[in-house]
Amino acid sequence: MGFQEVASALSKLNNTTNATNVSQESFISLDQGDPTIFESYWREQGDRCTVVISATDFMSYFSDISNTCWFLMPELAEAIKRLHRAVGNAVTEDRYIVVGTGSTQLYMAALYALTSPGGPEPVSVVCASPYYASYEQETSFVQSGLYKWEGDAYTFDKDGPYIELVTSPNNPDGSKREAVVNRAQGKTIHDYAYYWPQFTPITYAADQDIMLFTLSKSTGHAGSRLGWAIVKDKEVAKKMTKFMEISSIGISKESQVRAAKILGVIADDCAAGSDNFFAYSQKVMAERWEKLREVVKGSELFSLPKYPQEYCNFIGELSEASPAFAWLKIKEDVDLEGILKGQKILTKSGTVSGADKRYVRISMLHQEDAYKIFLERLTLLVNGKSMVENVV
Amino acid sequence: MGFQEVASALSKLNNTTNATNVSQESFISLDQGDPTIFESYWREQGDRCTVVISATDFMSYFSDISNTCWFLMPELAEAIKRLHRAVGNAVTEDRYIVVGTGSTQLYMAALYALTSPGGPEPVSVVCASPYYASYEQETSFVQSGLYKWEGDAYTFDKDGPYIELVTSPNNPDGSKREAVVNRAQGKTIHDYAYYWPQFTPITYAADQDIMLFTLSKSTGHAGSRLGWAIVKDKEVAKKMTKFMEISSIGISKESQVRAAKILGVIADDCAAGSDNFFAYSQKVMAERWEKLREVVKGSELFSLPKYPQEYCNFIGELSEASPAFAWLKIKEDVDLEGILKGQKILTKSGTVSGADKRYVRISMLHQEDAYKIFLERLTLLVNGKSMVENVV
């Protein structure tokens, strides 16, 4: 299901998505990665991240005409660079930054920038399975003549130019990824939405041609719809900026100024070596994963991916990934999404990620009460094997 | 030139676009409709429109799951409806509202909603000349297989389904418009960005299938990138919402909450019958047009469109349009954009609007000092006919 279908379904069920009023009768919607988990952290920060916007602010389309991305606010560019330096997850020196309405819009801007009108046929776009289901839709929905979704990178065998999308850590399965096709005519787009300390050990500063990041997953502010791309080549950055100009004449400055504030506060805290958002969120995610693994551990039917212990340069110790999504597998050849739905747990089937129906993607980013009820229901399922068999 | 080229050119010229530091040596950039003209009004409003956003606000993707447009904030929907009721420019009762990153994104959402995959060929998209230059680019840039730009509606003679874009008042020439093709297989998108009292007499409440509006032109807050569509048919509204979901998972909530505040304050003022933004801005625009007509009046070489006196239901008296753009024409068969550029006035050539080089579109929305220098330079050109002849 997409966001629209989720909203519609939950609305009809007289239910909530943000789980503030979750009851035993409610469906728990864990099929979208709505990142409300960190709300309590931000509440504790009081006014440190508050922004005040007056009536005369941001009236012009332009933000910085000397910048390749002319609608990018200088304070946001600066905050983004400071944060990456503090976390050590990406190289920003001598790179171009392009902002978008979420990283979603930037993904399409990147496709536009890496292709040209007039080719003999659309450029193939591939991604190793299991992949983020929305990529297929984003690539295909207006039936562009510039590019064409070709599915799983592992089985891609067409000649000619192609674009490989690399998501690392991967959505849905949390694994670290590198490009798999590696041919001369290939270009890459790296989606690093989840390459932050709360989700995975930071083991190197990423330095790829086009790297996508988003506020939704880095800080949990999904409603701001604020993403950024770090781009090596100036012409690619210019063309991505052109895409943003044609498709929306830039992006919200209100979101930009707020993101600048939030990212700046995190960067300050990290640089000062004090308590900071990532230290907090890494603990919260690790605790959730520990509880989930505890539930699944005793099961012969269900399993979760295993992640290696790695030294995280940011937290300065060995740690294990605690991804934003749990990629749950059931041993039998059954429809796991349907089984979980029977337990009032809404998840995303593996089938939309190029995997099969034995897998589901479960968001780990919802609020605490929803997460607790999810664990209770999963525990019932794991212990009461008969229920699964009944469904089967 | 697009925004990118303007920014780049002005940056190289060591110049400004927002005209706060305009000097006699500066190029005056009137080729984009950057609506900074009303800044002084908003300054006078003090804190009435100030919004304060705290760290925990807007963390979720969702705004209102009971609404067809699930990311639309209820307070914005309410403010939009109240404003249209107060102004009388559009019917909103029993209509669906979809918000977008500017009306630009909504235009593409409407194209998506009005077409379907699998047709024998892309649906033709037409607009009566002279048309908004960006429409062509927005329709063509990703070479969609769903729709195809076919240019001037007046000369359109293909059979089959088509979409006609109707901009009223029109950008660039300020005229009131209706659909011109009117065939059975046609659908329309009405762009009412400029159907507000400051630009044209409000003579009826518009009630078309898809009507686009934008904060940029209604209140002058271009940097917020906030547009809205009023849609009759639920399925069309759902499909437009789906487009917004796939292309950017909704839009900025910070922009939405600010727009709700600003539109709400205007609606309150209008409803109270007190001083209000439109009464002010209508006067400012009318004064600018009076000055411009004064300059052009004595010229045998230059001319401007004439607009009829009409009774404006909002201001309650006869008035004349004072469009956001001046559609200036030169009598001789010369390149008017080039001539004005020679006088350091940057404008948009008529050639990109399906008209010819004798026309230019000049933004009337820039700040006062830029407008004054523009008038001075235009006066020199009008009086010193020789300069034009030299260029010719």
Please give chain B's pLDDT, 392 residues, in tens: 788 887 777 666 544 444 445 666 789 999 988 999 999 999 999 999 999 999 999 999 999 999 999 999 999 999 999 999 999 999 999 999 999 999 999 999 999 999 998 888 999 999 999 999 999 999 999 999 999 999 999 999 999 999 999 999 999 999 999 999 999 999 999 999 999 999 999 999 999 999 999 999 999 999 999 999 999 999 999 999 999 999 999 999 999 999 999 999 999 999 998 899 999 999 999 999 999 999 999 899 999 999 999 999 999 999 999 999 999 999 999 999 999 999 999 999 999 999 999 999 999 999 999 999 999 999 999 987 545 555 54
**Lookup result for tokens 């950008």:** B171
Angle at B378 between CA B372 and CA B380, to 5 degrees: 110
Distance CA B376, CA A229 (A): 43
* The length of chain B, given as a count of residues: 392
CB A350, CB A357: distance < 8 Å? yes
Separation in Å, CA B82 to CA A186, B263, B273: 52, 8, 14
A226/B141 touch (CB, cutoff 8 Å), yes or no: no
Distance CA B209, CA B239 (A): 14
Angle at B135 between CA A68 and CA B6, to 5 degrees: 30
Minimum distance, in Å, between the CA of residue A296 and any CA atom of chain B:
28
- DSSP per residue over A120-158, as a string? SSPEEEEEPSS--HHHHHHHHTT-BSSEEEEEEGGG---
* The length of chain A, given as a count of residues: 392
CB A273, CB A244: distance < 8 Å? no
CB-nearest to B223 from A17, A51, A253 is: A253
CB B147, CB B107: distance < 8 Å? no
**Lookup result for tokens 């890496």:** A114
Residue ranges in chain A assigned as alpha helix (H): 3-12, 39-44, 74-87, 102-113, 133-140, 215-218, 234-248, 253-271, 277-297, 336-342, 368-383, 385-391
Separation in Å, CA A290 to CA A307, A339, A347: 13, 23, 20
CB A133, CB A268: distance < 8 Å? no
B104/A249 touch (CB, cutoff 8 Å), yes or no: yes
According to DSSP, residue A114 is labeled T
> For residue A117, what pLDDT is reported?
87
Closest alpha carbon to B257 in B73, B78, B55: B73
Chain B CB contacts of A134 below 8 Å: 246
- Angle, helix B133-140 to helix B102-113, in steps of 10 degrees: 50
CB B49, CB B257: distance < 8 Å? no
According to DSSP, residue B168 is labeled S
State chain A's mean pLDDT as an integer.
93
B59/A145 touch (CB, cutoff 8 Å), yes or no: no
Helix (H) or strand (E) holding A191: strand A186-191
Half-sphere exposure of B284 (CA within 13 A, CB side): 21
Sequence-separated (6 or more) residues with CB below 8 Å from residue B268? none
Cα nearest neighbour of B41 on chain A: A56
Separation in Å, CA A6 to CA A9, A33, A98, A257, B68: 5, 12, 31, 30, 12
Closest alpha carbon to B186 in B150, B213, B234: B150
What phi-psi label fits residue B143: left (phi over 0), alpha (psi between -120 and 50 degrees) or beta?
left
Query: Which of B39, B44, B59, B235 is most worth mutating to test chain A (most A CB atoms within 10 A of its CB)?
Result: B59
Pair of tokens at residue A134: 């929305």
Chain B CB contacts of A106 below 8 Å: none
Chain A CB contacts of B370 below 8 Å: none
Minimum distance, in Å, between the CA of residue A30 and any CA atom of chain B:
13
Separation in Å, CA A383 to CA A290, A296, A390: 18, 10, 14
Q: Which ipTM was obtained for this model?
A: 0.95
* Distance between start and end Cα atoms, chain B: 22
> For residue B21, what pLDDT is reported?
55
pTM above 0.90, yes or no: yes
- pLDDT tens for A49-99 read 999 999 999 999 999 999 999 999 999 999 999 999 999 999 999 999 999
Q: What is the CA radius of gyration of chain A?
A: 21
Q: What does DSSP say about strands A302-303 and A325-330: parallel, antiparallel, or unpaired?
A: antiparallel
Query: Which of A56, A67, A112, A121 is most worth mutating to test chain B (most B CB atoms within 10 A of its CB)?
Result: A56
Reply yes or no on whether the pLDDT at A386 is more than 50. Answer: no
Chain B CB contacts of A142 below 8 Å: 108, 112, 142, 144-146
- DSSP per residue over B209-262, as a string? SEEEEEHHHHTS-GGG-EEEEEES-HHHHHHHHHHHHHHHSS--HHHHHHHHHH
Closest alpha carbon to A200 in A37, A291, A362, A322: A322
